Chain A
Amino acid sequence: MEVVEKRNESTVVLELNGRLDTNTTPVLEKKVLELLEAEEVNLVFDFGNLDYINSSGLRVLVMALQRTRGTGRKVAVCALRDYIQEIFDISGYDRLFSLFPSQAEAVAAM
Chain B
Amino acid sequence: MPDNCAINTADNELRIILGNSRRELDRIAPALEAFSDMTGLDPRVTFHLNIALDELLTNIVSYGYGEEGGDGNREITLCVQLQGTLLTMRIEDDACPFNPLDAPEPDLDLPPEERINRVGGMGIHMIRKMMTSIEYERRDGKNLLTLRKTLTKDLKCQ
**Are B43 and A83 interface neighbours, CB within 8 A?**
yes
Partner-contacting stretch, out of B1-9, B48-56, B87-95, B146-154 = B48-56
Across the interface, B26 reaches (CB within 8 A) one of A23, A55, A66, namely: A23
Chain B at the A interface: mostly helix, strand, loop or mixed? helix
The CA of A22 and the CA of B21, in the complex, are separated in Å by 12
Chain A at the B interface: mostly helix, strand, loop or mixed? helix
**Are B22 and A23 interface neighbours, CB within 8 A?**
yes
Partner-contacting stretch, out of B73-81, B117-125, B134-142 = B117-125
Complex interface bits, A15-43 against B, C-beta within 8 A gives 1, otherwise 0: 00001011100000000000000000000
- A72 touches B (CB below 8 Å): no
Partner-contacting stretch, out of A5-13, A56-64, A100-108 = A56-64
Size of B's binding interface in residues, CB under 8 A:
27
Complex interface bits, B13-34 against A, C-beta within 8 A gives 1, otherwise 0: 0000000001101100100000
Complex interface bits, B54-98 against A, C-beta within 8 A gives 1, otherwise 0: 110010000000000000000000000000000000000000000
| B115 proximity list for chain A (CB < 8 A) | 62, 96
**Are A19 and B126 interface neighbours, CB within 8 A?**
no
Size of A's binding interface in residues, CB under 8 A:
23
Assess A87 versus B50: contact at CB under 8 Å? Given A65-B112, A66-B112, A66-B116. Answer: no
**Are A22 and B123 interface neighbours, CB within 8 A?**
no
Across the interface, A22 reaches (CB within 8 A) one of B58, B113, B119, B125, namely: B58
Q: Which residue numbers of B lie inside 8 Å of A, CB to CB? A: 22-23, 25-26, 29, 43-44, 47, 50-51, 54-55, 58, 106, 108-109, 112-113, 115-116, 119, 122-123, 125-126, 129-130
The 7 nearest A-B residue pairs measured at CB = A92-B108, A55-B123, A65-B112, A55-B122, A90-B129, A22-B58, A83-B47
